[in-house]
């Protein structure tokens, strides 16, 4: 298992994925474009009617306006993310596109884990009102952002903004004790916030390295590395339907290029001669 380098700067690297199709809402939305920041685990989720490259590009522009332009965007190899339109946008904005290897979730575990959490939380809060899921997304995001991450030790909100979010429990506490915080000088507040953010990010880096090392050791102990050479024949585990969870072995296909230690380019003649990268 080769982990991605740890990122300490917010929204320097983001992961992007699509959840759906879901039950159509009253506004016609059927998909959720999920974006997650690697440094802070801060998530965004955008309800969409369709998942065309144009719509994805529009959402990215909105995201860039909020948080700045990332250096890297990690996605799978879906056509929504590999279009020439997005390629032009990345080139214009100076963004490096990183493609995950199909059916190798360890590479893109961050967004996969959040997707599972998002769907689980939506199921719990909807309680039968499945077509109203888009109205619950802000509440689900708020709840996720204010909870400390076990791998980092801080909440996504605190890591991004340098302070704890004022949540519902805080509102209740204020009502109970009838107290207000003493206002501080703005400059002092900014300087204090900056120092806390720097300290938090250093702690986060150390926590993330420790967790990543444990995950790598666990994975390596249970896996056996297999090396292939150009010209070797291999079988691929590919989807057998439009559903993510149904797959079967297909091939054999030929290795035409070795890209990295465990990454290869494969030629698939029965799929129009398509060439694709696998891990």
Query: In the beta sheet, which residues pair with residue 31?
Result: 48
Q: What is the pLDDT of residue 66?
A: 94
Q: What is the pLDDT of residue 59?
A: 95
| Chain segment 144-183, per-residue pLDDT in tens | 888 887 777 788 998 888 888 777 666 655 665 555 554 5
User: pTM score, two decimals?
Assistant: 0.61
Name, in order, each residue with C-beta under 8 angstroms of 8's C-beta and a sequence gap of 6 or more. Answer: 39, 201, 202, 204, 205
Sign (positive or negative) of CA dihedral 127, 131, 135, 141 = positive
**CATH fold for the domain made of 1-223:** Nucleotidyltransferase; domain 5 (3.30.420)
Phi, psi (5° rounding) for residue 68?
95, 170
Q: What is the pLDDT of residue 261?
A: 72
Q: What is the pLDDT of residue 13?
A: 92
Mean pLDDT (10-residue bins), the chain, 279 residues = 59 91 90 92 94 92 95 84 89 90 55 79 68 84 82 84 76 57 57 57 58 62 69 72 54 83 79 73
Name, in order, each residue with C-beta under 8 angstroms of 241's C-beta and a sequence gap of 6 or more. Answer: none
User: What residues does CATH 3.30.420.10 cover in the chain?
Assistant: 1-223
Q: What CA–CA distances, in Å, run from 270 to 47, 250, 251, 262?
A: 36, 10, 9, 24
């Amino acid at each position: 298992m080769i982990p991605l380098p740890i990122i300490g700067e917010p929204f320097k690297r983001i992961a992007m994925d699509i959840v759906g199709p879901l039950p159509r809402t009253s506004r016609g939305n059927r998909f959720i474009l999920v974006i997650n920041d690697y440094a802070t685990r801060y998530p965004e989720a955008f309800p969409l009617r369709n998942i065309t490259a144009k719509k994805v590009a529009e959402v990215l522009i909105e995201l860039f306006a909020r948080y700045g332009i990332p250096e890297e965007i990690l996605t799978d190899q879906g056509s929504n993310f590999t279009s020439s339109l997005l390629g032009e946008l990345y080139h214009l904005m100076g963004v490096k596109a990183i493609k995950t290897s199909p059916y190798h979730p360890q590479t893109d575990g961050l967004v996969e884990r959040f997707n599972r959490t998002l769907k689980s939380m939506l199921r719990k809060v909807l309680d039968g009102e499945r077509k109203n899921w888009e109205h619950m997304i802000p509440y689900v995001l708020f709840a996720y952002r204010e909870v400390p991450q076990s791998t980092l030790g801080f909440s996504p909100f605190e890591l991004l903004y340098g302070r704890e979010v004022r949540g519902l429990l805080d509102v209740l506490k204020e009502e109970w004790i009838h107290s207000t915080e003493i206002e501080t000088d703005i400059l002092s507040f900014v300087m204090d916030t900056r120092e806390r953010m720097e300290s938090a990010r250093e702690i986060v880096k150390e926590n993330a390295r420790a967790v990543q090392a444990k995950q790598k050791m666990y994975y390596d102990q249970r896996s056996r590395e297999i090396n292939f050479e150009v010209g070797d024949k291999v079988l691929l585990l590919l989807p057998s339907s439009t559903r993510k969870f149904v797959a079967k072995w297909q091939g054999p296909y030929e290795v035409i290029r070795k890209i990295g230690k465990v990454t290869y380019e494969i030629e698939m003649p029965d799929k129009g001669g398509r060439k694709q990268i696998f891990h």
